[in-house]
Amino acid sequence: MASAPSRTLTDFFQPASKRLKPTLPASCKSDDANASTLSVDQKLRMEYNKLLAKSKRNLKLCVERVSKSKESGLGGVKLEELLVEETWLEALPGELQKPYALTLSKFVESEISGGDGVIFPPTHLIFNALNSTPFHTVKAVILGQDPYHGPGQAMGLSFSVPEGIKVPSSLVNIFKELHQDLGCSIPTHGNLQKWAVQGVLLLNAVLTVRKHQANSHAKKGWEQFTDVVIKTISQKKEGVVFLLWGNSAREKSRLIDARKHHVLTAAHPSGLSANRGFFGCRHFSRTNQLLEQMGIDPIDWQL
């Protein structure tokens, strides 16, 4: 019955030099330099793994709640039960119990009751952006519009698709810009969870969509909720970098206090507009420069 611990020592200690036979003695100087470098890497890796474990736990909790409500045969799980990250519940007290949110919740529940696969993302992933990036870890925000509407694409993180799913053209363009900007290699998949865990909030303005009907859940109340999320970040935090791509995202800058935060704007990475101001925007390196100026660890954008 004993479960193995879920962490190993290689999460804490870095490999030292490969063993030689016979081993040549290392100089004290290189030992010291090595030790201090390892310490920094060690801390970063520790923090990342801790946050990754937390996001997995949040996901598991959502899955449990969804399956429990299905078993009970009652109506679908309420929206408020799907936001499980405590730091966001503290930052947004009572938000999902407000009248507009209850109306939104009823709407989403009735849409979901039309059957599995009609609404994206899957129910347990609706709040994945918040459940994967705790409030206190938010360093940057990338605002999308609404989830991908093809089967299997949406995973609750803006612009992101699970491994194994074809990378959508907007994301292809994002990777092209990232390559041009920071020299990152183009990944074989489009899962951006690694960004989310590091503190990049991948938020869509509208968190659900009907299959094959882009923006079909607009103006049902999601915008009011996500505006509150953005305003809360702006009011309660400092030094967050907002990456606003496209007109819809840019309009949200009215919610952000630009005296406290950094707002980067560009055209949308969609194929229709990427050449008119997204390519060449260098938002990834600029984000990291801003973070480093503030003494915050930069984002490792390489997937």
Partner 1 sequence: MLELRLVQGSLLKKVLESIKELVNDANFDCSSTGFSLQAMDSSHVALVALLLRSEGFEHYRCDRNTSMGMNLNNMAKMLKCAGNDDIITIKADDGSDTVTFMFESPTQDKISDFEMKLMDIDSEHLGIPEAEYHAIVKMPSSEFARICKDLSSIGDTVVISITKEGVKFSTKGDIGTANIVCRQNTSVDKPEEATVIEMNEPVSLTFALRYMNSFTKATPLSNTVTISLSNELPVVVEYKIAEMGYVRFYLAPKIEEDEEDTKPQV
The catalytic residue positions are 146
Region 198-257 residues binding partner 1, contact defined as CB under 8 A: none
Closest CB to partner 1 among 101 and 192? 192
Residue pair 100/77 in contact by the 8 Å Cβ criterion: no
Quick check: 28 binds partner 1 (CB under 8 A)? no
Closest CB to partner 1 among 19 and 259? 19
Closest CB to partner 1 among 57 and 260? 57
Closest CB to partner 1 among 22 and 295? 22
Residue 74, φ and ψ in degrees, nearest 5: -75, -170
Q: What is each CA distance from 291 to 17, 132, 141, in whole angstroms?
A: 32, 20, 13
Least Å distance, CB 162 to partner 1, is 15
| Rounded CA separation 131/2 (Å) | 29
CA-nearest of 143, 167, 141, 142 to 153 is 167
Please select the residue that binds partner 1; options are 27, 28, 33, 46, rule is CB under 8 A.
46
Least Å distance, CB 186 to partner 1, is 20
Quick check: 23 binds partner 1 (CB under 8 A)? yes
Residues near partner 1 (CB under 8 A), total: 40
Closest CB to partner 1 among 3 and 72? 3
CA-nearest of 269, 285, 300 to 176 is 269
Residue 22: its H or E element: none
Closest CB to partner 1 among 65 and 211? 65
Please select the residue that binds partner 1; options are 12, 75, 118, 257, rule is CB under 8 A.
12
Please select the residue that binds partner 1; options are 33, 53, 214, 294, rule is CB under 8 A.
53
Please select the residue that binds partner 1; options are 1, 28, 71, 73, rule is CB under 8 A.
1
Region 58-77 residues binding partner 1, contact defined as CB under 8 A: 60
| Rounded CA separation 282/38 (Å) | 30
Segment contacting partner 1 by CB under 8 A, of 22-30, 148-156, 157-165, 266-274: 22-30
What per-residue string of b and e applies to 130-152 under the rule 16 or more CB within 10 Å gives b? Answer: bbbbbbebbbbbbbbbbbbbeee
Quick check: 7 binds partner 1 (CB under 8 A)? yes
What length is written for the chain?
Answer: 303
| Rounded CA separation 148/216 (Å) | 11
| Rounded CA separation 264/96 (Å) | 29
Quick check: 136 binds partner 1 (CB under 8 A)? no
CA dihedral 111→131→82→103, nearest 10 degrees, is -60
Quick check: 137 binds partner 1 (CB under 8 A)? no
Number of CB atoms found within 10 A of residue 31's CB: 12
Which residue carries 């995202």 as its tokens?
Answer: 249
Please select the residue that binds partner 1; options are 28, 29, 30, 48, rule is CB under 8 A.
48
Beta pairing, strands 209-210 & 119-120: antiparallel
Quick check: 94 binds partner 1 (CB under 8 A)? no
Residues at the interface with partner 1 (CB under 8 A): 1-25, 34-35, 38-39, 42, 45-46, 48-50, 52-53, 56-57, 60
